[in-house]
Amino acid sequence: MIPCVLAAEGWDREPVQPLPTCTQLTPDKVQLGRDLFHDNRLSFNNSRSCASCHPLEQWGSDGQRVSLRADGAPATMNTPTVYNVRFQIGQYWNGRVRTLQALVEEKVRLEMNSTWPEVEARLTADERYRLRFAQVYPDGVRAANIQDALAEFQRALVLANSRFDRYLRGDKEAISAQEREGYLLFKEIGCASCHQGMNLGGNMYHKSGLFLERSGAVDPSGAVPAEEDQDRFQVTGNDEDYHVFKVPSLRLVLRTAPYFHDGSVATLPEAVQRMARQQLGRTLNAEEVGKLVAFLATLEGIPAGACP
């Protein structure tokens, strides 16, 4: 059995910390949220569930450049994994909502193409749901309770105790020499300046393409290129937030291709090379890329349990 460790100890000088190995949860809400997560009735035509874009058996991401909404239209940005989402500073690539409840509220309206009164009516018609909601929420099947249960389930989706977590906690044999060299390189060249903390990302926003030559100035009409129509500027209105996005977590990066907000890169070595060039102004050789990819492979965890 994995010992329950809520916080890292003795690694305050490292840019990366281990994830807690257990989570504080309400079990009845988690189970209700799990069923709702897989229920197509959240969509207007009963065609899509949360799991359609975030299949848990595929590491919480559908592997597509962009996912499809319930009405068949493509989403505008790549779908990130839902695992470890509780540790994110905000939701969506631009962080336009802060809480998981707010994320659910918007996802059902904009990607499931449903209204909340319609969702309430569909679920209320199911006696099983009526009974289960009544056991957890005094006011039964309500939009706020649906959102709360789905949020609680997503908080349960923590993959912790990776080989690298064990290494940080003192097990020096948990990773290989090449993987250790990859971590040292990760810190040395500056990757850890953005990909840091427990989730190796997800806790800050940063400009995409610091070392890219951009053509022309921002359109004075306020138009934004289609591939950047969800940058941080759309949230803040501040000019310095053009091309700024949430730094993605690297925890499942080996499993969640394609990469970046636009899903434009298919392989991890290519993504590593591109980030080194565009964000650090550095060209890596094949050996360096290999070391970094080897390190990233150590970040994949296993399901965390509930705290006692």
Where do the CATH 1.10.760.10 domains begin and end in the chain? 22-155, 162-216+225-301
d(CA 190, CA 220): 34
Check: CB of residue 67 under 8 Å from CB of residue 74.
Answer: yes
Report, as residue numbers or ranges, the catalytic residues: 111
Report pLDDT for 274. Answer: 94
Check: CB of residue 81 under 8 Å from CB of residue 253.
Answer: no
pLDDT digits (tens, 9 = 90+) for 39-91: 999 999 999 999 999 999 999 999 999 999 999 999 989 999 999 999 999 99
Report pLDDT for 230. Answer: 82
Domain 162-216+225-301 CATH class label: mainly alpha
Show Cβ contacts of residue 154 under 8 Å, excluding neighbours closer than 6 positions: 33, 37, 82, 85, 86, 100
Q: What is the DSSP letter of 24?
A: -
d(CA 70, CA 42): 10
pLDDT digits (tens, 9 = 90+) for 142-199: 999 999 999 999 999 999 999 999 999 999 999 999 999 999 999 999 999 999 999 9
d(CA 44, CA 59): 26
Tell me the CA end-to-end span of the chain in Å, nearest whole number: 13
According to CATH, the superfamily of the domain at 22-155 is Cytochrome c-like domain (1.10.760.10)
d(CA 113, CA 71): 7
Show Cβ contacts of residue 205 under 8 Å, excluding neighbours closer than 6 positions: 89, 94, 95, 232, 241, 244, 245, 246, 247
Report pLDDT for 7. Answer: 52
Check: CB of residue 182 under 8 Å from CB of residue 296.
Answer: yes
pTM of the entire structure?
Answer: 0.91
Q: What is the CA radius of gyration of the chain?
A: 20
Among 123, 118, 116, 117, residue whose Cα is nearest residue 140 = 123
